[in-house]
Structure 1
Amino acid sequence: MSDDKLYYAIGEVAEMFNVNTSLIRFWEKEFDIIKPKKNKKGNRLFTKQDIDNFHLIFHLVKERGFTLEGAKNKLKSSKKETTDNFEIIQKLKNIKSFLLELKEEL
């Protein structure tokens, strides 16, 4: 994601996660934490917050194997805890990739 960009089109978001745009639209209906703005033509414009929320849902459903209902319940009951755990996992993945790169250089 670019730091200077405010909004992302649905195609850009789908490309970020390597999914179809239909999944983005479906999850938008299913999860109330994804609230894209719409322009006059009706095109969805996603903010960085929407993308962060989508990333969290993607992690729960695609990576951890939650059902949609399970992911909704998890986010309703403990969104802060879930977000914190997700951030820790992301940081650990970054450390792992750094260490693997370092190992390759040795």
Structure 2
Amino acid sequence: MPYKEKKVEKLYYSIGEVAEMFDVNTSLIRFWEKEFDVIKPHKNKKGNRMFTPKDIENFHLIYHLVKEKGMTLKGAQKKLKENRDDTIHDFEVVSKLKEIRGLLIEVRDNIDSE
């Protein structure tokens, strides 16, 4: 049986890694951290921000609301406070639909190339 390396889930992500995940500048990550109280990074001895997977989930929600849906920061803050569960559900549905769309496009491309 071949050796299969387990995927390691990181405990903390640097601000650079988070910015790269969302293809944004680190300054935007710092700005969102100030604007949204759900983002609470740990800081190491040097003062570097270390984001948890929970922070990353919150960034996904914020990114979805602000960048994809075009909401204002105030609107996104209000939506996260008042309808957090609905927002999470909507985000999950949109993510799944994007995943399905990607699979369908891959199938179509495979059929076209044959």
Give the TM-score category using the shorter length: over 0.9
Is 2:53 aligned against 1:19? no
Paired AA for residue 18 in structure 2: V
Q: Structure 1 3/52 Cα, relative in aligned 2: closer, same or farther at 3 Å?
A: farther
Unaligned runs of 5+ in 2: 1-6
Q: What number of residue pairs does the alignment pair up? A: 105
For residue 27 of structure 1, give the secondary structure of its aligned residue in structure 2: helix
> How much has 1:91 moved relative to structure 2?
0.3
Which residue matches 1:67? Answer: 72
User: Structure 1 residues 6, 96: CA separation in 2 closer, same or farther (over 3 Å shift)?
Assistant: same
Q: CA deviation at 1:33?
A: 0.5
- Structure with the greater alpha carbon radius of gyration: 2
Alignment-mate amino acid for residue 76 of structure 1? K
- How far the C-alpha of 1:3 sits from its partner, in A, is 4.1
Which of 38, 41, 48 is the aligned partner of 2:46? 41
Match of 1:8 in 2: 13
Aligned-pair CA distance for 1:23:
0.5
Counterpart amino acid of residue 95 in structure 1: I
Secondary structure in 2 matching 1:45:
strand
Equivalent residue for 1:88?
A: 93
1:4 offset after TM fit, Å? 2.3
- Percent same amino acid at aligned positions? 64
Measure how far apart 1:95 and its partner are. Answer: 0.3
Root-mean-square deviation (CA), in Å? 0.9
After superposition, the C-alpha distances for 1:27-68 in whole angstroms (9 at most, x for unaligned) are: 000000011000011000001110110010011001100000
Match of 2:82 among 48, 71, 77: 77
Q: Which runs of 4+ in 1 moved over 4 A?
A: none
What TM-score do you get using the length of structure 1 for normalisation? 0.96
Q: TM-score, normalising length from structure 2?
A: 0.89
